[in-house]
Structure 1
Amino acid sequence: MSIWPVNFDNYKIERKAKSEENKNIDKDKNLEIEALKELNSLIGLNKVKQIINELYALEQVQIKRKNAGLATDPIVLHMVFKGNPGTGKTTVARILGKLLKGIGVLSKGHVVEVERADLVGEYIGHTAHRVQENVKKSLGGILFVDEAYSLARGGDKDFGKEAIDTLVKAMEDYKDEFILILAGYRDEMEYFLNTNPGLRSRFPIQIDFPDYTIDELLQIAELMVKNRQYILTDSAKRKIMKVLINDNTTREIGNARLVRNIIERAIRKHAVRIMNKKTITKDDLMIIDSIDIRED
């Protein structure tokens, strides 16, 4: 007499499916933990972190309430990110995608990054097609539209208006299947939201990304070199600080992007400097000094 279950094949299939399900749960949990770690390790952006952590907590509680048979309110997660370039808007969007995938709000968690040129076509109907294609690519994840205000710059006859209308329709057609994040300069995004009376209400979450302080920018520089396995001397740090203080555009057009440019130029200059040495030590390969920091 067989000791195996009557439907042994089905039993094996169920065991395999259960095993795969457990693997996916573990994978999502790891993704959630990784995303939270990335978010909280960001330099500055304390208010931004607070809002994202609130959204994370709210989604977690809604899931627990649903599992407990309690009433839940649908949460609209379409957002507007307002701030200067280099303030972390794209970085936070990518972390958010991972976080929401980790807790099951998004099925994929990927981020499709587009701007006006990716959405606005050259003739009637072309724009709608472009927008729809990018929306479909983003299903299960986030559609991140950078410099979104440029869609409203051309007036009523510009195809940018068609792009806005198609995005709004997609938010209804694919409700709960993707998150739309519109990003750009603070003042320009305010103007953009005012161009369409119903637009602002569709984005209940609006997050301001402040400019980094000089101290925060120096911390970012130190983190960048550390991640590349370089070391800044104290004199190099002082020179970077001097460059940041003297650069009047730091907050308006630079922020972290300006810091990245400074560090990447320093690494190139460092490479040229040490190649002229007869012998090169491990310290030589790692230490960036003030001579490697350009002031222009």
Structure 2
Amino acid sequence: MKQTSKEGRIHVVLNPKEKPVLAADWPDQPEHSLLRSIEQEMEALIGLSGLKTLIRELYASAYISKKRTEAGIETKGHMLHMLFTGNPGTGKTTAARLIASMFKRLGLLEKGQFIEAERADLVGEYIGHTAQKTRDLVKKALGGVLFIDEAYSLARGGEKDFGKEAIDTLVKQMEDHQNSFILILAGYPREMAHFLSMNPGLQSRFPLIHHFPDYSVDELLQIADVIAAEKKYEIDHDSRHILTAIIEQEKRLSGFRFANGRNIRTLIEKAARRQAVRLMAQSVHSKKELKMLKGEDFQLSQ
């Protein structure tokens, strides 16, 4: 379900008993082929049920807005700037790219380019330089999506840092170029709360705020299988309980700094190196042995 605050911001809140609306439940019409294509892309994503619901809502809103226009109903453009919060490796960048692709294919964006930026792309070295760099970046993004990851880094230096100038300029550009581009800011929850406090008009500019929760252990195991397969490895079935224990331990010790998918990728890469050392003791290697990651490889990777 959606909750709308007094400021008009939409917060996507999932009821665990609610079943998301699937494309298969919608009318089987050729004009919905784009949604079905997007649905197939999302099927490859593990977890992220809240994101999948959000994307369906965005598609439906765009579709019905088009129908309203065709029916002669005056329809004003919706601001689609977004704020993503979540711990490392929870899929924020993947989500931004998918949403940009959908908007481009829907024709909501004049050009549809997707531009990723970080602090260094906005913050200059002297007074006035930052504002110009930020304006130039927004100009480059007009007609498309500007994605700024770790956006809280703009607030890193406090009041006297040039990052504040970048924030103020972004707010002004969002006002000057309403509906001309989509700005997506992403970062860790605690840091983003401080970031939003740097400019009183910043938070109200984002009608869509979405939190990416940490992956469950079962989802992380699925991610491990996907990453291993990408690298042409397999995880020994009999050793999965060892990998499960390692993931649970890392989640417990790392707390909110647990890097989710990134941690899993590191685990697989370490295990692959340990497997290589283990196999060096043999002179003959079967194809199965060369592909298999065993429990001892993960134990030694800690």
Deviation at 1:168, TM superposition (A): 1.4
Of residues 85-94 and 231-240 in structure 1, the stretch that sits farther from structure 2 once superposed is: 231-240
- Partners of 1:280 and 1:258 lie apart in 2 by 29
Of residues 87-96 and 271-280 in structure 1, the stretch that sits farther from structure 2 once superposed is: 271-280
Task: Tell me whether 1:97 sits opposite 2:90 in the alignment.
Answer: no
- Partners of 1:266 and 1:139 lie apart in 2 by 44
Task: Tell me whether 1:84 sits opposite 2:87 in the alignment.
Answer: yes
- Partners of 1:227 and 1:181 lie apart in 2 by 29
- Partners of 1:113 and 1:91 lie apart in 2 by 12
Give the TM-score normalised by structure 2.
0.81
Deviation at 1:39, TM superposition (A): 2.4
The question of whether the paired residues in 1 share the 8 Å contact of 2:100 and 2:145 is answered with yes
Deviation at 1:146, TM superposition (A): 1.5
1:287 paired residue number: 292
1:258 paired residue number: 263
Deviation at 1:76, TM superposition (A): 0.8
- Partners of 1:295 and 1:264 lie apart in 2 by 9
Superposed counterparts of 1:133-282, under 5 Å: 133-247=136-250, 248-249=253-254, 251-282=256-287
AA in 1 matched with 2:116: E
Q: Percent identity?
A: 49
Question: Alignment length, in residue pairs?
Answer: 269
- Partners of 2:287 and 2:34 lie apart in 1 by 35
Deviation at 1:249, TM superposition (A): 1.0
AA in 2 matched with 1:168: V
The question of whether the paired residues in 1 share the 8 Å contact of 2:171 and 2:201 is answered with no
Deviation at 1:275, TM superposition (A): 4.9
- Partners of 1:30 and 1:263 lie apart in 2 by 37
Of residues 220-229 and 202-211 in structure 1, the stretch that sits farther from structure 2 once superposed is: 220-229
- Partners of 1:109 and 1:95 lie apart in 2 by 12
Q: Alpha carbons of 1:130 and 1:36: their partners in 2 closer, same or farther (altered >3 Å)?
A: farther
Deviations 1:97-156 (A, max 9, x none): 111111111234332222222211110111112212322332332211112122223333
Q: Which runs of 5+ in 1 are unaligned?
A: 1-28
Larger Rg: 1
Deviation at 1:174, TM superposition (A): 2.8
Choose between structure 1 and 2: higher helix proportion: 1
1:24 paired residue number: none
